[in-house]
Amino acid sequence: MVTYKINLAAINDVKDFVNMVMKYDFDVDLVSGRYAIDAKSIMGIFSLDLSKPIELKAHTDEPGDFAKEIEKYIVK
């Protein structure tokens, strides 16, 4: 499993992010406080507090292309 901190600041960011994540077979979760939701669920993402960075957990040992694709959302 790999973990990143991401920021989804706008509605279009959420839509584009979900479309990217849907392409991958492994599970991806978003964690905000005590809530964990499926990153492939647009409604689930909108239930989180998007005003601060969210923890992303990708259930894979080889993030490769996935990490490159979500790079613009990763908080550095």
Contact of 38 with 27, CB cutoff 8 Å: yes
Residue in 36, 10, 40 with CA at minimum distance from that of residue 23 = 40
Q: Output the pLDDT for position 3.
A: 97
The answer to which of 4-8, 16-20, 61-65 has the lowest mean pLDDT is: 61-65
Alpha helices (H) in the chain, listed in sequence order: 11-21, 42-46, 64-69
17-48: pLDDT as tens digits = 999 999 999 999 999 999 999 999 999 999 99
How do residues 47-61 score in pLDDT, each as one tens digit?
999 999 999 999 999
Which pTM does this prediction carry? Answer: 0.90
By the 8 A CB rule, do 57 and 10 touch?
no
Decide if 12 contacts 1 (C-beta within 8 A). Answer: no
Contact 3, 57 (CB under 8 A): yes
Domains annotated on the chain, with CATH: 2-73 (3.30.1340.10)
